[in-house]
Amino acid sequence: MERSADGVLEGSDIGSQKDRVVTEEEWLQKWETGNIGFHKEQGHPLFQKYLDVLLNGRSGLRVFFPLCGKAVEMKWLADMGHSVVGVEVSEQALKEFFAEHSLPYCEEPVPEISGAKKLRSASGNISLYCCSIYDLSSSIVGKFDGVWDRGSLVAVNPCDRQRYVSLMITLMEKNSSYLLVTVSYDPNKHKGPPFYVPESEIKSLFGNHCEIKCLQKVDDFSDRHRQWGLDYFLESWEEETFLFLFGHCH
């Protein structure tokens, strides 16, 4: 496996993670037991810094939060006048989001998806779907001007990444902005999630559909990562701007 100039492992080799599968039941159990170290109660520290990149001076956007959990950034964007749509398998996570922000909401069935429900804020600008993300389509949720992908691509099973990205591309409006946070560490020392996603794979997954720019790499190493057996843990911020009519590569 190659190392880049900053010492981070690169290349398509993601070690034993290639065959790692985390089931829906395991994710539900994480929420039930409170094993949600991935949730940031104060929001992501760099969200505010790069919010302008996501919004690009626009108002009244539709912003998608894949695998949203109870991300506080959803409330922030809604308070700014944007419409937020999220999807999450854990109903507990979605109900905790509304409870923690004292937001009244109603539950609605989703006729197109068996067993799914939508939790919609009384104000109407936050709609959270409780189902598998792969059950969604643009005919159900529409298309989006922006995506905040902080813990989604890195949580998707490696074998499902192509399926995930293919879906996300169908949900993007032309000239939309996709803010992606990935993590870099030695995948032979931790089985994930979050999973290691090499920059080369990001380019192969998204490169035909958008312009990709790495905004920042941040050393996020902590005691939690040391307990995983790691000796470094970096977060990478990517801006992906979709500039094409979907269905046509440039």
Q: Can you say which residues are annotated as belonging to the binding site?
A: 27-38, 67, 88, 132-133, 150
Cα–Cα distance list, 15 to 157, 190, 192, 197 (Å) = 14, 10, 11, 11
Cα–Cα distance list, 157 to 47, 83, 152, 160 (Å) = 25, 28, 10, 5
- Distance (Å, rounded) from C-alpha 58 to C-alpha 80? 11
- Please report the DSSP string for 135-201 in residue order: G--HHHH--EEEEEESSSTTTS-GGGHHHHHHHHHHTEEEEEEEEEEEEES-TTT---SSPB--HHH
3 state DSSP class of 54:
helix
φ/ψ of residue 51, rounded to 5? -60, -40
| Binding site per annotation, positions for S-adenosyl-L-methionine | 27-38, 67, 88, 132-133, 150
